[in-house]
Amino acid sequence: MANKPLSGYKVLDMTQFESGTVCTEALAWLGAEVYKVERPGRGELGRRGVAEPDKDTYGFLIMNMNKKSITCNAKDPEGLKLLEALVKECDVVVENMGPGSMDKLGLTYEHCKELNPGIIYASLKGFSQVGPYANYPAFDPIATHTGVMVSATGLPEQPIKCGISVADSGTGTMLAMSIITALLHRERFGVGQRVDIAMQDFMIGLSRSQWEPYYANGRVPNRRVANGMPLEDVAPSDTYPCKPYGVNDYVHIYCSRAPGSKQWDNLCEAIGRPDLKQENCPEMSTPRERFKHRDICDNAIKEWLKDHDKFEAMDILCKADVPAGALLDVNDITNDPQYIERGMMVDIEHPQRGKVRVPGFAPKFSEVEIEYKCSPELGGSNEEVYGGLLGLSPEKLAELKEKKVI
């Protein structure tokens, strides 16, 4: 890992669950030395589950690759001293604990800065630490509901939250980018700094396209349009069922609303309905006219899809320059060799779970190869970090373990 972009940087990882762990995993993939701090004997809250209390959860495995685990009872004075010593040695502290938790431990930004003036202290919370919601607890669905997204997602009469953790993983990824920015700033200007990010704020930024219709429509709340185009009533813009009509046998089809687009005519040719082309059918002449008469548009598409599965439909339409996307689920992605070949899905060997195929790092670099290592054994790097980095003797380590400090 010595030739990676973040090689040589040390990260004290005080994160748990998803948002923070996604951040530090990205830093670890890019070469940073990430010391994941966990509770002695139990690990972080996401490591073990109720169903299998003696095994690492798949979620922990997926979100903690390439890290080194150290155990520490931060509430014990000796444990706090260990963390303070590590702050002096590290470049970055990352935490996503509940509001006020780091303050109670005594590891505030101000204290860490006293220990290490160049430290980058990164915090991820549900809400801004300087706003009226600062002390409110939050998980991913709270952030997506308070951050515009859910107001625009679902049916007209029923908002529906997203099925994946957009706020958690998205905010974690943004924080990783922000930490790298702070490190670059330190390289150029010689100062460390605090980096704060709130999941609600990230979601507001991610939802920025919602302000276009908000202003265009007279500052009224935006509509929910299910699978339609939220910016304008156009057709086709929907998710259509395909053969063999299983739970995820669908394809989304959208034709551009841009003036002069030929995508609708291309679709008509592809599905064998030239009679519905813009010049041949007044009801299909514009995206808005097609929306008004979407029963004609949608029925033609649905009839054609009776003979095609989602993969065939996507292939035929995309080759005709019609935007179409098969509804691919986790099983589809896991078992498609193309994702293995390009490193989007990777196989790792876990001591408890065996061979597991998991998502990798989305960016691909011409000069950087991402290596994937299994998530760490609980406390597996205690000797390396406390002994090698901090210089504690084997006898002292044994004493701390006996006292359940580590």
Residues annotated as catalytic (active site), given as ranges: 168
Q: Tell the residue number behind the tokens 């923070």, with chain if given.
A: 20
Q: Which residue has the tokens 């930004």?
A: 109
Alpha carbon distance 146, 17 (integer Å): 20
Cα separation values, 230 from 52, 54, 237, 284, 299, Å: 43, 46, 10, 20, 21
For tokens 């690990």, the residue is 43
Distance of CA 336 to the CA centre of its chain: 21
Rounded Cα distance, 234 and 254, in Å: 9
Q: How far apart are CA 378 and CA 71, in angstroms?
A: 7
* Cα–Cα separations (whole angstroms), residue 82 to 77, 100, 209: 9, 21, 46
C-alpha to C-alpha distance for 118 and 190, rounded to whole angstroms? 7
User: Which amino acid makes up residue 291?
Assistant: F
Residues 177 and 118: beta-carbon distance below 8 Å: no
